[in-house]
Amino acid sequence: MAPAILIVPCTGPRSALETTPASEATIPRTWRHRLPFFHGYVMVAIGFGMMFVSNGINWSLGVIAIPMRDDLDWTITDVFAGLFLRILMGALGAFALTRFADTRNGARRTVFITGIFICTSLALTSQVTEVWQFWLLVGVVTGFMSGGHALLFTAAVVPRWFRKYRGRAVAAATMGSSTAAFVLPAPVAFLVGELGWQAAWIMLACLSLALSVLPSLLIVRQPEDLGMTPDGLPPQNATDTRSPMREEPEIDARTAVRSRLFWLLVITVCFATTSSMSVPAIMAPMYEWKGFDVTAAALGATIYGLFSMSSRFLWGWVADKVHIAAMAVGVGLFNTITFPLLIVLSGGSAYVFAAMVGVGVSGLVVVQSLVWPFFFGRRNLGAIVGVSRPFPVFMSAGGVLFMPLIFDATGSYSLSLIAMSAAAFISVVFMLIAVRSPIPRNSA
């Protein structure tokens, strides 16, 4: 492990967070200061749009896959191999690109450039004729660029703008993912039926341009860059020692990744998020396994999206009220109980499983975004997220392949659901160990 740590990128003094907000005299007032609300909520709205598009690609693929298979003489495995590549390349993109969120204009430039690549690749996907072209565009290009786009923004920019209300802000931004799961499948299916699968990819490209590329021009790294403070509080309140908020650490990236706490948290998040993509993505096939027809199986996926979306604010509120470790343990235990339920449920009661998975996965998304700023602070959040993110993404990608492979071998999802439950419980154990580890101190 040591050699890997030695090559970890570390941000320098120029990317360090300014701990003292700039004064009105040094930073001129702009339209951002004249808004009737805190500019951080603009960042939340941008994050919502980015997550809607980024994860909307994943949810839409299940609808587009069958007509692409039939028209191009591919297999379903060919199509979902593109999703597998997209997830893996997202991990590499996160490692390479999220560090730029720590520099003053790095987040805006990186998100805009990666967004252009994603938008262009989605449009070109409408013209593919060979499977390697699909893997290159959707798997490699959009996957790698997503690491410097929605992931960079929601994990390394939005948390910088908030402290007291960070949980709710991150929950609102990431709710774009669950909203896409609830909203997109029906219009994508209609568009595919009326105009073909090519039109669906053009629509996704237009959504990417409108909801993520153009809004990225409004990105500001952190409130201090505008002379503001987190949560929009007056400077004297933001630094008031009588504030009930805990003192937030500011750990540099090199110190963080050399600590025992960092690697325990990586293991925790890895096992917690193993199910975060696989179980929702395979929701409809699992209901078909339980004897539901295609329409009834699709309803299960819709119920998942509805409950994932509606519970996001609940988890955000919880995150602002309790220690992040307590929330992680609670979410882990909830998912430990939830995942095996589909094995025993049948008929209409089986839809309870979809609803509970929506609630549990929603909690996972919030936890994995908040754990890093909670334990290590905002100063080098981009670099820390970039180093930590590939590991859980690889686990998540593995889950996407693991569940269908087990089904092909056994004709059942029972074993894979039990495995997902076990992974959730292991995440609880490691979080309980991690929270007892000391927070590292920066070297002098």
Q: Are residues 193 and 328 in the same domain?
A: no
Query: 117-145, pLDDT tens digit by residue?
Result: 999 999 999 999 999 999 999 999 999 99
Which pLDDT tens digit goes with each residue over 414-429? 999 999 999 999 999 9
pLDDT in tens, 208-262: 999 989 998 999 888 888 888 888 877 655 444 444 455 677 888 889 889 999 9
CB 127 within 8 A of CB 189: no
Q: Which amino acid is at 121?
A: S
Per-residue pLDDT band at 26 (split at 50, 70, 90):
low
Q: pLDDT band for position 63 (50/70/90)?
A: confident
pLDDT at 298 over 90: no
Identify the pLDDT of residue 404. 80
The per-residue b/e assignment along 327-346, b for 16 or more CB within 10 angstroms, e otherwise, is bbbbbbebbbebbbbbbeee
Query: pLDDT at position 45, please?
Result: 93
Does residue 344 lie within any of the structural domains?
yes
Same structural domain for residues 89 and 145?
A: yes
Domain assignment present for 5? no
Q: Do 59 and 181 contact (CB within 8 A), yes or no?
A: yes
Domain boundary among 211, 236, 261: 236
How many CB atoms are located within 10 Å of the residue 193 CB? 11
Of 32 and 13, the structure prediction assigns the larger pLDDT to 32
pLDDT higher at 120 or 8? 120
Residue 8: inside a domain: no
Token representation of residue 373? 């700023």
Please name the amino acid found at residue 50. M
Structure tokens at 128: 């593919």
Token readout for 144 is 């790698």
Mean pLDDT of 78-87: 83
Considering the domain architecture, whether residues 70 and 195 belong to the same structural domain is answered as: yes
Can you tell me the mean pLDDT for 279-287? 83
Section 81-105 average pLDDT: 84
- Could you tell me if residue 88 is inside a domain? yes
Report the chain's mean pLDDT, rounded to a whole number: 83
Sign of CA dihedral 247, 250, 256, 259: negative
Give the separation between CA 136 and CA 79, rounded to whole angstroms: 12
Position 439 scores a pLDDT of: 81
Average pLDDT score over residue span 396-406: 82
Ramachandran quadrant class, 232 (left: phi over 0; alpha: psi -120 to 50; beta: rest)? left
Higher local confidence (pLDDT), 32 or 406: 406
- Both 319 and 341 in a single domain? yes
Whether 437 and 388 share a structural domain:
yes
Domain co-membership, 90 together with 151: yes
One domain, residues 134 and 266? no
CA distance linking residue 216 with residue 45, whole number of Å: 11
**How many helices (H) does the chain have, and how many strands (E)?**
23, 0
Instruction: Please tell me the predicted confidence (pLDDT) of residue 28.
Output: 64
> Within a domain: residue 1?
no
Instruction: Find out whether 327 and 363 touch, Cβ atoms under 8 Å.
Output: yes
Confidence of residue 91 (pLDDT cuts 50, 70, 90): confident
Taking residues 14-37, what's their average pLDDT?
A: 59
Q: In this structure, what CATH number is given to the domain that contains residue 101?
A: 1.20.1250.20
Asked if the structure places residue 17 within a domain, the reply is no
- Residues 6+ positions from 2 with CB-CB distance below 8 Å: none
More confident residue, 250 or 350: 350
Q: Give CA separation, 386 vs 65, 196, 284, in Å.
A: 31, 38, 32
Number of domains, the chain: 2
Residues 318, 382, single domain; the answer is: yes
Domain residues for the domain of 300 are 249-444
Whether the per-residue pLDDT at 22 is higher than 80: the answer is: no
**pLDDT value at position 388?**
87
Grouping H, G, I as helix, E, B as strand and the rest as coil, residue 214 is coil
Q: Are 54 and 150 spatial neighbours (Cβ–Cβ below 8 Å)?
A: yes
Indicate if the pLDDT at residue 13 is higher than 80. no
Q: Which amino acid is at 69?
A: R
CB 233 within 8 A of CB 414: no
Give the integer Cα–Cα distance in Å for 124 and 118. Answer: 10
* Amino acid 4: pLDDT: 39
What confidence tier does 333 reach under pLDDT thresholds 50, 70, 90? very high
Q: Tell whether 15 is covered by a domain.
A: no
Residues 188 and 304 in one domain: no
Are 167 and 269 members of one domain? no
Shared domain for 212 and 267, answered yes or no, is no
Q: Render pLDDT for 110-124 as a digit per residue (tens, 0 to 9).
A: 999 999 999 999 999
Closest residue by Cα to residue 370 from 240, 269, 245, 253: 269
Phi, psi of 146 (to 5 degrees): -65, -25
Q: What is the DSSP letter of 12?
A: -
**Angle made by CA atoms 41, 179, 79, in degrees to the nearest 5:** 125
Cβ(105)–Cβ(99) under 8 Å? no
Which of 214, 236, 258 delimits the end of a domain? Answer: 236
Would the pLDDT of 10 be above 60? no
Asked whether residue 14 is domain-assigned, the answer is no
> Could you tell me if 298 and 414 lie in one domain?
yes
- pLDDT computed for residue 27 by the predictor: 61
Whole-number pLDDT of residue 168 = 87
